[in-house]
Amino acid sequence: MSLSHRDDQKEVVNVGRRRLLTSGAAGGATLLASATNALSASKPDPAITEIQDWNRYTGDGVDARPYGTPSAFEKDVVRRNVPWLTADPIASVNFTPLHELDGIITPNGLCFERHHGGIAEIDPAEHRLMINGLVERPLVFTMEDLMRFPRVNRVYFLECAANTGMEWRGAQLNGCQFTHGMIHNVMYTGVPLRLLLEEAGVKTAGKWVLPEGADASHMTRSIPLEKALDDCIVAFKMNGEALRPEQGYPVRLVVPGWEGNMWVKWLRRIEVGDQPWHHREETSKYTDLLESGKARRFTWEMDVKSVITNPSPQAPLTHGSGHTVLSGVAWSGSGKVKRVDVSIDGGRNWQTSRLDGPSLSKSMHRFYFDFDWDGSEMFLQSRAMDENGQVQPTKNQLREARGPNSVYHNNSIQTWHVKPDGSAENVEIS
């Protein structure tokens, strides 16, 4: 966007910038190599000896970007979808580019989207949240009403129960964006659901709540009252700013540690009842058919899980052997991640990685493993453990427990095969 803006205004600067854009990737690689070989470089490095356009001319003023967007060189850092996965893009999903991110927070524009009836575009002035059912006082809140309740800030991951679901029977999608990208980690601001339920006064018979979305899918899920009173949040901000329309603007439910489907977006109603409703999303969907013919249901909590994001198929090693930074993310729906072990030989030997950044309950954790790569092929794996002693299983252990037919709740160990040329591929080790 800002480039076409420059096209109109600064002809001279543009010629140079366009050239730089097309040679951006190669230029970056040269720079890295020259940084490590600076003293032995035989030819002068133009990145040092030449005065660059950005050093010669003034740039955009403060009126050019009223809402900031990333550098044009970051244009490939985007959500992506897999067209053959769903019949249309309305009831569909796209994926967070995990291999491009660091730290623990997912930027708002990169949070994966999953909606069953498209994005509802809601005028907050017209939006209402109703609490009805087994309550002393049925209530209707405007957004302004919600803003007058005491609020909290909490960082939580949201993982779709179907994340990694396509990998049950074998390695399929080539990139952690696609295998593990149905997750984001955001700081939410909102009102504890407990305060709103207390305002309405839950009757003694009330044991369950049913949040409902205002979108065309009318998303509904049964949530036990205990969880609703514990840590659920009616959130209106993400990472400090208003929720994005795709994340449920103006208000969504946050259900920490539990499967993404329960985090109802565009929240318009919460009914209190005495038993679960057994709606579509908790019967025909979001249940796992076992080999016995029985199905697991109400599998709310997301299990301990991790994935190496770098290197990975979309983020190969381009620098050759030597100092290498391996990185990834880990999370658990039951609390904090305590340890992440890493193997470069397909699970024969394990070493403990370095967790860095805030360690928050039911939030993503970042891990690093700094090592000297000898340039030979590697089978990279990570295995997370949480503070409650739960350990990520191998794929075979998971299939032994749940059979071959499941989709949801695949928290098994992922393997990337890194070849001597640094490229990486999704594989399975038996």
Residues of this chain that bind ligand MTE (CB under 6 A): 111-116, 158, 160, 184, 213, 215, 217, 219, 246-247, 260-261, 263-266
In this structure, how many other beta carbons lie within 10 angstroms of the beta carbon of residue 407? Answer: 17
Closest listed residue to residue 156, CA positions, set 182, 185, 114, 192:
185
Q: Considering beta carbons, is residue 183 or 384 the nearer one to ligand MTE? A: 183
User: What is the C-alpha separation between 163 and 302, in angstroms, rounded?
Assistant: 10
Binding mask 150-189 for Co ion (x = CB under 5 A): ----------x-----------------------------
Burial, 156: exposed, middle or buried (Cβ in 10 Å; 0-12, 13-18, 19+)? Answer: buried
| Residue 209 binding result from ligand MTE, Co ion, none, given CB thresholds of 5 to 8 Å by partner type | none
Q: How many positions of this chain bind Co ion (CB under 5 A)?
A: 4
- Taking the complex as a whole, how short is the minimal distance between the CB of residue 89 and ligand MTE, in angstroms? 13
| Residue 258 binding result from ligand MTE, Co ion, none, given CB thresholds of 5 to 8 Å by partner type | none
Number of H helices, E strands in the chain: 10, 23
| Residue 115 binding result from ligand MTE, Co ion, none, given CB thresholds of 5 to 8 Å by partner type | ligand MTE
| Residue 264 binding result from Co ion, ligand MTE, none, given CB thresholds of 5 to 8 Å by partner type | ligand MTE
| Residue 286 binding result from ligand MTE, Co ion, none, given CB thresholds of 5 to 8 Å by partner type | none
Q: Which of 99, 114, 154, 402 binds Co ion (CB under 5 A)?
A: 114
* Alpha helix positions (H), 2-49: 2-9, 11-22, 24-36, 46-49
The one segment of 243-251, 258-266, 299-307, 392-400 that binds Co ion by CB under 5 A: 258-266
The one segment of 94-102, 257-265, 380-388, 402-410 that binds Co ion by CB under 5 A: 257-265
- Taking the complex as a whole, how short is the minimal distance between the CB of residue 335 and ligand MTE, in angstroms? 21
Quick one: which H or E segment has residue 225? helix 225-230
| Residue 181 binding result from ligand MTE, Co ion, none, given CB thresholds of 5 to 8 Å by partner type | none
Q: Using an 8 Å Cβ cutoff, are 372 and 322 in contact?
A: yes
* Alpha helix positions (H), 263-370: none
CA end-to-end span of the chain = 48
| Residue 263 binding result from ligand MTE, Co ion, none, given CB thresholds of 5 to 8 Å by partner type | ligand MTE
Per DSSP, the three-state class of 398 is helix
- Taking the complex as a whole, how short is the minimal distance between the CB of residue 261 and Co ion, in angstroms? 4
Q: Is residue 395 within the footprint of Co ion (CB under 5 A)?
A: no
Phi/psi zone of residue 198: left (φ > 0), alpha (ψ -120 to 50 degrees), beta? alpha
Closest residue to ligand MTE, judged by C-beta, is: 213
Closest listed residue to residue 205, CA positions, set 145, 275, 254:
275
| Residue 311 binding result from Co ion, ligand MTE, none, given CB thresholds of 5 to 8 Å by partner type | none
**Residues in region 279-338 near Co ion by CB under 5 A:** none
Q: Considering beta carbons, is residue 192 or 260 the nearer one to ligand MTE? A: 260
Q: Using an 8 Å Cβ cutoff, are 305 and 392 in contact?
A: yes
Closest listed residue to residue 223, CA positions, set 234, 205, 212, 211:
211
Q: Considering beta carbons, is residue 208 or 373 the nearer one to ligand MTE? A: 208
Q: Which two tokens stand for residue 266?
A: 């565009």
Q: Is residue 260 within the footprint of Co ion (CB under 5 A)?
A: yes
Please give the angle made by the CA atoms of 208, 211 and 127, to the nearest 5 degrees. Answer: 145
Task: Give me the residue label for tokens 């989709």.
Answer: 407
Q: Using an 8 Å Cβ cutoff, are 82 and 174 in contact?
A: no
- Taking the complex as a whole, how short is the minimal distance between the CB of residue 92 and ligand MTE, in angstroms? 10
Q: Which two tokens stand for residue 331?
A: 């999370």
Beta bridge partners of 192: 233
Q: Considering beta carbons, is residue 173 or 254 the nearer one to ligand MTE? A: 254
Q: Is residue 261 within the footprint of Co ion (CB under 5 A)?
A: yes
- Taking the complex as a whole, how short is the minimal distance between the CB of residue 138 and Co ion, in angstroms? 30
Footprint of Co ion (CB under 5 A): 114, 160, 260-261
